[in-house]
């Protein structure tokens, strides 16, 4: 289960990011810093459709801050914060899947459907990013693969050249499933959106819900700090 949870989260993040990038006119919902590159390209090409991309970072920052504060409060109250917050992430993705039924499909990078769906997905992945720095912190990241691929390359080179110790082998064994899951999630997100549109997000919702269930199985039971009311 310790390897299944990060793999599920990595697959879900890649899936959501790919689906959002295709369906929301190039908006990154997981790799939000990539939106700065796109804003620069839009400005050079004299496009003006940059409102949603410009607001992506503030929305992401706000979601990380809120998730972190919620985790602090829940820990103080003896709640299983990781499980609850992954449940919130799954719910946010579900709302993004439902949103087109209320707002209509995105027709423009800065129209209401694009903003609503985009911000729901950015907030969802923001929750995951916050957890990756706290209760899920470790050598493996699940939303950005650059560091994982770099470390895996170094570790595999150490294994091949006989320089790897037990810790290096353990880390490599934890990294490669996440990298592969992220790649698979990217492919599945593209295929899913091509066939189902934003309804494909239900699969990502299920992935995160599965990670929440694994967290529930693994997360230590905590005693509530509050007196019963």
Let me know if residue 227 belongs to a domain: no
Structural domains in the chain (count): 1
Whether the Cβ atoms of residue 201 and residue 30 lie closer than 8 Å to each other: no
Q: Which CATH number belongs to the domain containing residue 20 in this structure?
A: 1.20.1250
Let me know if residue 124 belongs to a domain: yes
Q: Is the pLDDT of residue 124 over 90?
A: yes
Range of the domain at 41: 4-218
Whether the Cβ atoms of residue 220 and residue 50 lie closer than 8 Å to each other: no
The per-residue pLDDT for 217 is: 87
Q: Cα separations (Å) of 71 from 93, 120, 171, 210, 224?
A: 19, 19, 27, 19, 14
Q: What is the DSSP letter of 78?
A: T
Report the alpha-carbon distance of residue 122 to residue 142 in Å, rounded: 15
Let me know if residue 229 belongs to a domain: no
pLDDT band at 38 (very low <50, low <70, confident <90, very high): confident
Q: Is the pTM of this model over 0.85?
A: yes
The per-residue pLDDT for 222 is: 40
Tokens of 109: 């990078």
Let me know if residue 224 belongs to a domain: no
Let me know if residue 145 belongs to a domain: yes
Buried b (16+ CB within 10 A) or exposed e, 155-188: bbebeeeeebeeebeebbebbbbbbebbeebbeb
Q: Is the pLDDT of residue 101 over 90?
A: yes
Q: For the residues of 132-156, what is the DSSP string, one character each?
A: HTTTT-SS--SS--HHHHHHHHHHH
* pLDDT tens figures, 24-33: 998 999 877 7
Let me know if residue 109 belongs to a domain: yes
pLDDT band at 48 (very low <50, low <70, confident <90, very high): low
């Amino acid at each position: 289960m310790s390897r299944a949870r990060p793999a599920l989260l990595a697959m879900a993040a890649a899936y959501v990011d790919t689906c959002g990038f295709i369906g929301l006119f190039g908006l990154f919902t997981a790799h939000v810093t990539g939106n700065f590159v796109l804003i620069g390209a839009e400005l050079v090409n004299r496009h003006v459709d940059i409102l949603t991309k410009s607001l992506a970072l503030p929305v992401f920052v706000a979601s990380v801050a809120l998730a972190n504060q919620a985790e602090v409060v829940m820990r103080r109250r003896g709640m299983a914060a990781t499980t609850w917050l992954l449940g919130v992430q799954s719910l946010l993705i579900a709302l993004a899947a439902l949103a087109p039924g209320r707002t209509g499909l995105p027709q423009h990078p800065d129209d209401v459907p694009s903003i609503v769906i985009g911000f729901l997905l950015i907030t969802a992945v923001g929750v995951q990013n916050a957890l990756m720095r706290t209760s899920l912190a470790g050598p493996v990241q699940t939303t950005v693969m650059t560091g994982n691929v770099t470390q895996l390359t170094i570790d595999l080179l150490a294994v091949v050249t006989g320089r790897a110790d037990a810790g290096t082998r353990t880390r490599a064994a934890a990294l490669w499933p996440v990298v592969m899951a992220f790649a698979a999630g990217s492919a599945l997100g593209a295929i899913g959106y091509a066939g189902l549109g934003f309804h494909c997000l239900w699969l990502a919702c299920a992935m995160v819900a599965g990670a929440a269930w694994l967290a529930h199985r693994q997360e230590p039971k905590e005693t509530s700090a509050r007196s019963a009311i």
